Structure 1
Amino acid sequence: MLSSDHSPSEPKLKLFAEGDFLRAWGGISSLQFVLPVTWSYGVKYGITLEKLVSWWSVKPAKLASQDLKGAIEIGKHADIVVWEPEKEFDLDENHTVHLKHPSISAYMGSRLAGKVVATFVNGNLVFEGGKHAPDACGTTILADQR
């Protein structure tokens, strides 16, 4: 399975001038691009869509004992991403970035494939056409909930 260390800290906490990786705040601003990055580099090594779904959805849900997540089935939460896997884009200053500190994403300057068109959480549209829903609609998930 895969996971993300999304960590949108202030640029000064990254200690760029010092170059000391061990003292710098860990993690990168990347959550918005996790699917395109995984897909773009994965296809180069023969990663299939089925494998990607397993890594990013099925296995994390199983590890966290989230029986209502991780699959598109009747009775499960409808957490769905609509995307165009063949659509390529340049991640540069002209691309809309929805990160707290967009200038420090490790993927700036990359050409990626897999444009996210829309996202649904619990069946509710939360992102489409570059715009986010005005209110949160997710639910708190805990390992002991079933």
Structure 2
Amino acid sequence: VSLDALRQSGKPVLLVFSDPNCRACTGLLPSLAAWQADGRLTVALVSRGTPAANRVKTDPHGLANVLLQQDRETALAYGADVTPTAVVIRPSGFVASPLARGTEDIKALVARALPPLAPAQPAPLAVGEAVPSITLATLDTGDAY
């Protein structure tokens, strides 16, 4: 799978460099699954080791993009010298963040990188905008005007 393929969704890509023997990496897997389910990022776990060793760790979390490097060549190309380390890639293919090393820094990186959700309340009316048409009941009679 290429980075171009991961970027096809038009969303930022979170690349997380991992190792199946890394305890902190295993602890981060539920968060990766939650970010994947949220849908505002494309999450890709770049790991090493055997497919079986990685499946044991990742399958329970339903991660879609678990990618294997031969050793650490992809991680080192990004400057990721420890695990877990993450970086956000813009949909345009450019790096959007510095490397985040460790679980807490990765969580903070994602909090900054996630596009905002749609506002829970509508935006206030702008000056000059037409007012909405409403009909309300009075306290005295209950009649609507």
TM-score computed with the length of structure 1 as normaliser: 0.28
Specify which structure has the higher proportion of strand. 1
Answer with 1 or 2: which has the greater Rg: 2
